[in-house]
A and B are shown apart, each in its own frame.
Chain A
Amino acid sequence: MFSSNTILILALPQAVLVLLLLIKPFDKNNISSSLILTIVTIAGCTSVLVRIFELTHENPAWALWLYVIAQVIMIWESMSNWTRINTDHKPFIDNIVNLTVPFLFGASLIYLWEILTVGFNVPQILLPSPHLIALAFAKSTSVLWADFQQTFVKAVLSGYLIGCGSGFLIAIFIDRVPFLQKGLLPIGNLVSALPIVGVAPIMVMWFGFDWHSKAAVVVIMTFFPMLVNTLTGIAASGQMERDLMYSYASNYWQTLLLLRLPNALPFIFNAMKINSTLALIGAIVAEFFGTPIVGMGFRISIEVGRMNVDVVWATITVAAMSGSLFFALIALCERSMTAWHPSMRNR
């Protein structure tokens, strides 16, 4: 039986601690006070999470919602507390703050999502609550893994490698022919504004339903950003440096390898980052136009039709995680390979 008393008992220690903080027994802007505030907030949120399932239409418990609002304010307060911490540019503390604040924000979003969908009985078709998505995820891991392999490992990775690789090589070739460079750069810029995803149905017609057609879409989508960025990148090294290489009597390939390519790395990584998102989108959208009975795009469209929205959200979770990890991996490579570049300072 749900009663406001249970909430009160849960809230009591929290109230005491908040009072303690408000009286400012210790410096508000240091890690320990932020930590205490955060822990207290998390405890309060957990108490609501445990109780939320007992809400019914007969027992709407408005006090609970007031309590949730108070929790949100507490979360905000603890986030600003973390932000206000004076890190003195110590990398360790800096890192902790930089990780904690976004983590708190994300966690609180998921918390509110759960509380609101369960508490207000949001129909599952509209927005399933996170725990239902997690259950669907756990239940259909083998299916999701097969989809992941089909879409990500086969279509995205191969298309990405071919698209980026050919864009890079052709850019280096074009760089030797100024006429082509002048002619292709505006066209490349134009193409990057076009809705290239639209070639998906054509590619499916040409290359069949399996992953080859998806990889073809990915190749086309990733080619032009890579071409344009590499072209700009290898043109970015200054005249002084080139003259220096010339005075060293270095030939074209030496200049390219030792001066111009390293200088182009930030641009190339930029293209790789843009492409990592584009590639996933291209592959999934292409699957809407025809696919064997496996793949993330197929899963999304088929389960929407069956109204199994929780499985759809589980697939989206897989797509989001693989997309973010892919991006993060490239960003890590970038950080280790272009550590010398000015844009990497102040970190």
Chain B
Amino acid sequence: MLKRLRDSSLIPVTVVVGMIILIWYAGAVYLNAPMLIDQYERQKTEWNFEKLRQDAWAMKRPILPAPHQILADMNQSIIGRKVTSKRSLIYHGWITISSTLVGFGIGASLGILLAVGIVYIPTLNRSVMPWIIASQTIPILAIAPMIIVVLGSIGLTGLIPKAIISAYLCFFPVTIGMVKGLRSPDPILMDLMRTYNSNNSQTFFKLRWPASTTFLFTSFKVSIAISLVGAIVGELPAGARAGLGSRLLVGSYYGQTIQIWSALITASLVAGLLVYLMTLLERLTISKMGGRLI
């Protein structure tokens, strides 16, 4: 038991997280201090370090809010409000998650289709593969707001434009991973399938597709995370009124730092949750297939 505890990374991670929180609190004092001191001098109030520390951790619009302020705000806007309320983070989070998932669905299926095409059609392999890699050096996230505005001008608003951006970001990891995965079976196994006189579709469904499962889920984990990023950035243009991205933008317009941070942390939690769900799905699939995850 003790040995397992020592070998696991639980203690180091806890210590590092604790250190980060400590640095955060210290940073909150350090960054907020100039503003507060300025305020004290103008109001000619007496101040010492203890008062400064307390005020720095309780400012309304701090430069860097203290962690407990963010937690309090999150607590208020997640549990404290009705889910349907426009100020509930669950409401905004759900809007972001739904377009993330739709975009992920489109992007992942497109990616898999493209990968199958690339593996089976040599011309596609030679012609499209370099462009798929090049397509990712284009900062698509940066033009996301334009796509939203342009699609909005022809009447497409809401979930679909955001999902398109997410899909564009998603398909790349899936395609690359699946091309690798579908090509991963050993030549010996391919030869075995040939000795069984199996045709292309049999080889695909009985050998190539199962062999690519781990590759598929590895790329899924990457792409669902960036799908979320795509959805959030898609919510940045002023037209969007809901979603975690619009909370970020509204917060930055009105200088509501605490709101920005709580939206940011909620987004991180959502990302962690989605990736974790994907890991669960992977375990389930692999155990259903009779394999064992190492």
Give the number of chain B interface residues (Cβ < 8 Å): 57
Compute how far the CA of A318 lies from the CA of B17 in the bound complex, rounded to whole angstroms: 41
A104 to B89 CA separation, bound complex (whole angstroms): 49
Where chain B touches its partner, the secondary structure class is: helix
Q: How far is the CB of B162 from chain A (nearest CB, A)?
A: 13
B270 to chain A, nearest CB (A): 9
B150 adjacent to A304 (CB under 8 Å):
yes
From 183 to 217 in chain A, residues with beta carbon under 8 angstroms from any chain B beta carbon are 183-187, 190, 193-195, 197-199, 201-202, 204-206
B187 → chain A, closest Cβ, in Å?
14
- Those of B173-230 within 8 Å (CB) of chain A: 221-222, 225, 228-229
Please state if A198 and B267 are interface contacts (CB–CB under 8 Å): yes
> Among the listed A84, A97, A201, A323, which residue makes an inter-chain contact with B260, where contact means beta carbons less than 8 Å apart?
A201
Q: Which residue of B lies closest to A181 (CB)?
A: B12
B141 touching A194, Cβ below 8 Å = no
Decide if B126 touches A285 in the complex (CB within 8 Å): no
**Cβ of B142 and Cβ of A285 under 8 Å apart?**
yes
Query: Per a CB cutoff under 8 Å, which of A97, A102, A198, A297 touches B142?
Result: A297
| Interfacial residues of chain B within 125-155, with CB under 8 A of chain A in the complex | 125-131, 134, 136-139, 141-143, 145-146, 149-150, 153-154
Known: A179-B12, A182-B12, A201-B251. Contact between A195 and B268, CB under 8 A? yes
In this complex, what residue of B is CB-closest to A156?
B139
Determine the chain A residues whose CB is within 8 A of the CB of B232 once the complex forms: 195, 197-198
CA of A199 to CA of B249, assembled, Å: 11
> How long is the Cα–Cα vector from A199 to B248 in the complex, in angstroms?
9
Further 19 A-B residue pairs, CB within 8 A, beyond A280-B142, A305-B149: A76-B123, A179-B12, A179-B15, A183-B14, A183-B17, A184-B12, A194-B225, A195-B229, A197-B141, A198-B264, A201-B251, A276-B137, A284-B139, A304-B145, A304-B150, A312-B143, A312-B146, A319-B143, A323-B139
Contact of A327 among B137, B228, B263 (CB under 8 A): B137
Task: Give min CB distance, A275 to chain B, whole Å.
Answer: 12
Residue from the list B122, B126, B267 in contact with A195, Cβ < 8 A: B267
Q: What are 21 A-B residue pairs whose CB atoms fall within 8 Å in the complex? A: A79-B123, A79-B127, A83-B122, A83-B126, A179-B12, A183-B14, A183-B16, A194-B225, A195-B225, A195-B229, A201-B260, A202-B264, A285-B236, A300-B142, A300-B143, A300-B145, A301-B145, A304-B149, A312-B146, A316-B138, A316-B146
Interface of A: prevailing SS: helix
The verdict on B77 contacting chain A, using a C-beta distance below 8 Å, is: no
Interchain nearest-CB distance for A193 vs B (Å): 4
The yes or no answer to B2 lying at the interface (CB within 8 A) is no
For the complex, is B257 an interface residue (Cβ under 8 Å from A)? Answer: yes
Q: When A205-B63, A277-B139, A323-B137 are in contact, do A180 and B261 touch as well, CB less than 8 Å?
A: no
Cβ–Cβ < 8 Å partners of B229 in chain A: 195, 197
B49 to chain A, nearest CB (A): 23
Interface string of B227-257 (1 = CB under 8 A from A): 0110011001100000010001101100101
Q: Give which listed residue, B123, B138, B146, B260, contacts A80 with CB less than 8 A.
A: B123
Asked whether, in the complex, the Cβ of B131 is within 8 Å of the Cβ of A105, the reply is yes
With most chain B CB atoms within 10 A of its CB, the pick from A123, A190, A197, A305 is: A197
Any chain A CB within 8 A of the CB of B272? yes
CB pair B263 A202 closer than 8 Å: no
Roughly how many angstroms separate A183 CA and B153 CA in the complex, as a whole number? 49
Residues of A within 8 A of B141 (CB): 197, 281, 284-285
State in angstroms the CA–CA spacing of A326 and B143 once bound together.
18
Q: Are B263 and A198 in contact (CB under 8 A)?
A: yes
